[in-house]
């Protein structure tokens, strides 16, 4: 049997980043804990401004940064939604799971919990995020604002449907000593209204874990939620080869999407666009 960790840098992330993620997987792997492994890996990606999570998160339309994250094991779940001014949202999601009676905490309540637990104030803003927002706002201003009524809340800024970038998540799955775990973290898609929530912090949508395996997704969050993509993949585990399940789900999905998953026979990944991945495995008796 192999203890294994698999992580991704988001759909659309450059394949050249796979070498970096391979290094992160090696550093993050904990041969005693699947949960520690996925959290360690996600923290490394949150701390790297290359990735859209933690430091490096995208700005919203109003210039603020709100982050989502989640962790899940076979017996537990914790997530945070729209949390601001902390460095590692995935750690706070873990604290929600382990230190509160709740599953999901959002906004100022999540931030109050963070401060109570000793999380220091941290500004995840970067020059990259500022430049990305300026580019999006310029594109919004040049588009016909009446094309899509779904985006009426942004009509003064234009039709955002063509501008949404799907690089919305980093994630990790692991199988260590007979147990599974998963973690995700995101700075969101772009452009976004303040308060927008994607798939990452929603169990069954952007993340799912159970006794059969662990799955995380990346792509257009709204579409992933509609399809409850990760639990759909999870429910198919055992019916056929894992790679076949991921390929079928990805190819039938409308829009860019990527999946990584692990079961007792190993791990696999599949995406409709380039997606950086890294992995580490260790043989056990």
Please write the tens of the pLDDT for every residue from 86-141: 999 999 999 999 999 999 999 999 999 999 999 999 999 888 887 877 777 676 55
How many distinct structural domains can be found in the chain?
1
Q: At what angle do helices 107-116 and 89-99 cross, to 10 degrees?
A: 80
* Full domain range(s) for residue 268: 2-283
Which tens digits make up the pLDDT trace of 184-239? Answer: 999 987 778 889 999 999 999 999 999 999 999 999 898 999 999 999 999 999 99
| DSSP-based three-state secondary structure for 277 | strand
Q: What is the C-alpha radius of gyration for the chain, rounded to an integer number of angstroms?
A: 18
**For the whole model, what pTM was predicted?**
0.90
Q: For position 146, what pLDDT does the model report?
A: 54
* Nearby residues of 7 by Cβ (< 8 Å), 6 or more positions away: 21, 24, 25, 28, 38, 41, 42, 45, 170, 171, 172, 173, 260, 277, 278, 279
Please report the pLDDT score of residue 11 as a whole number.
93
Determine which one of 169, 190, 218, 250 is catalytic: 169
142-168 residues labelled b (16+ CB within 10 A) or e (exposed) = ebeeeebeebeebeebbbbeebbbbbb
Tell which residue, 43, 34, 54, 44, has the closest CA to residue 209.
Answer: 34
Residue 183 CA to residue 216 CA, distance in Å, equals: 8
Closest CA to 86 of 97, 98, 95: 95
Element (H, E) at 137: helix 127-141
Residues 6+ apart with CB under 8 A from 5: 25, 28, 29, 34, 37, 38, 41, 172, 173, 174, 176, 279, 280, 281
| Catalytic status, residue 169 | yes
CATH code of residue 179: 3.60.20.30
**Mean pLDDT within 152-177:** 64
């Amino acid at each position: 049997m192999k203890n294994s960790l698999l992580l991704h840098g988001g759909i659309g992330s450059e394949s050249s980043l796979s070498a970096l993620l391979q290094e992160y997987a090696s550093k993050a792997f904990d041969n005693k804990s699947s949960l520690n492994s996925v959290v360690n890996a996600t923290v490394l990606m949150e701390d790297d401004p290359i990735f859209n999570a933690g430091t490096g998160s995208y700005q919203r339309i109003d210039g603020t940064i709100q982050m989502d994250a989640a962790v899940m094991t076979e017996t537990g779940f914790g997530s945070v939604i729209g949390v601001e001014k902390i460095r590692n949202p995935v750690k706070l999601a873990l604290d929600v799971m382990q230190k509160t009676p709740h599953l999901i905490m959002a906004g100022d309540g999540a931030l109050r919990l963070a401060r109570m637990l000793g999380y220091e104030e941290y500004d995840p803003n970067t020059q990259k995020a500022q430049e990305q927002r300026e580019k999006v706002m310029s594109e919004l201003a040049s588009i016909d604002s009446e094309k899509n009524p779904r985006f009426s809340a942004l009509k003064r800024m234009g039709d955002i449907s063509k501008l949404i970038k799907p690089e919305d998540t980093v994630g990790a799955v692991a199988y260590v000593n007979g147990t599974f775990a998963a973690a995700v973290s995101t700075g969101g898609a772009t452009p976004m209204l303040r308060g927008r929530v994607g798939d990452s912090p929603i169990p069954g949508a952007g993340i799912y874990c159970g006794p059969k395996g662990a799955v995380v997704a990346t792509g257009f969050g709204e579409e992933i939620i509609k399809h409850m993509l990760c639990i759909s993949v999870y429910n198919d585990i055992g019916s056929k080869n894992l790679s076949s399940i991921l390929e079928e789900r990805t190819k039938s999905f409308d829009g860019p999407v990527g999946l990584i998953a692990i079961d007792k026979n190993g791990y696999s990944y599949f995406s409709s666009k380039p997606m950086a991945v890294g992995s580490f495995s260790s043989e056990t008796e």
